[in-house]
Amino acid sequence: MADTDGERESKEFHVGVPQASDGFFLKGSAHYDWGMKNRLARIFDPASGRTVMLAVDHGYFQGPTTGLERIDLSIVPLVPLADTLMLTRGALRTMIPPASRPAIVLRASGGPSVLKELSNEEIAVDIEDALRLNAAALAVQVFVGGEHETKSIHNLTRLVDAGTRYGVPVLAVTAVGKEMVRDAKYFRLATRICAELGAHYVKTYYVAIGFDTVTSCCPVPIVIAGGKKLPELDALTMARNAIDQGASGVDMGRNIFQSAAPVAMLRAVRAVVHDNATPSEAYELYQKLE
């Protein structure tokens, strides 16, 4: 043992300074483990508390969607501008550079194509493969009110159990069938069920009437789906309204990669979500960059 006689005591124990115990910035997430919080902080910007997700997972049931025929050409140039990429493991492994910085939200459910009943999904990714791919979260479709409602909810709970075991959050994606009414009452039901059964955040649709009641009664963050392609100003207005009414971000796909100027549109969406730009300010930015 080294001789320490005469060694100068230079340690600083700061006895009179209590250790900081900060809360976590994200709604409903204060009691998660460190790894879970760290992954959520990769998805949501801690400075704004929000996220801009780029959804490019459409091919898992639609095949080569317009704008996604060549992900290596249309999407890879957009990757540096997104906080998060939502995609399948096949697209990730074959077309996304491993040096990419955005967090990865991995599509973890699937099965039927557009030719069949979409609610009949199964879990399509093992948690070990998600960890191998360094996923920040797993995404699962939940069909509240659908023909296979119970199966889809069971998919959610199984993924939550696996994710909790390894510190991986689960994103519940509320799917709306063709015969279902898209209103605040339905989305309050669907998002609350997902949160109650363990989803760490929820993706749902924006509605013009009562969306603030959807975000208010959901105890975890909500991000809105972009949905079908809209005129750029309309999409930016939807994003602004959703943020103002409690959404914690957007998960847009077609409104970005089907835009006439995808890079400009993604920058404009970021301005709305992170910089609190108005729709007109963001649209002016879009036009300037177009």
Closest to 252 measured CA to CA, from 225, 279, 230: 225
Question: What are the C-alpha distances in Å from 168 to residues 77, 108, 159, 161?
Answer: 27, 12, 9, 10
> From CA 233, how far away is CA 136, in angstroms rounded?
31
Of residues 27, 178, 203, 288, which has the active-site annotation? 203
Query: For the chain, first and last CA: distance in Å?
Result: 69
Secondary structure of residue 217 in the 3-state scheme: coil
CA distance 100 to 78: 11
Residue 238: CB atoms within 10 A of its CB come to 23
Which residues are registered as beta bridge partners of 86? Answer: 55, 105
Task: Tell which phi-psi region holds residue 249, choosing left (phi > 0), alpha (psi between -120 and 50) or beta.
Answer: left
CA 285 to chain centre: 24
Sign of torsion over alpha carbons 257, 260, 261, 266: negative
Query: Is 151 one of the catalytic residues?
Result: no
Sequence-ordered strand ranges (E) for 31-121: 51-55, 84-87, 103-107, 109-110
Give CA separation, 70 vs 75, 101, 153, in Å.
8, 20, 33
Q: Are strands 109-110 and 122-123 parallel, antiparallel or unpaired?
A: antiparallel
Tokens of 126: 């093992």
Q: Are 185 and 152 in contact (CB under 8 A)?
A: no
What residues are annotated to the active site? 203
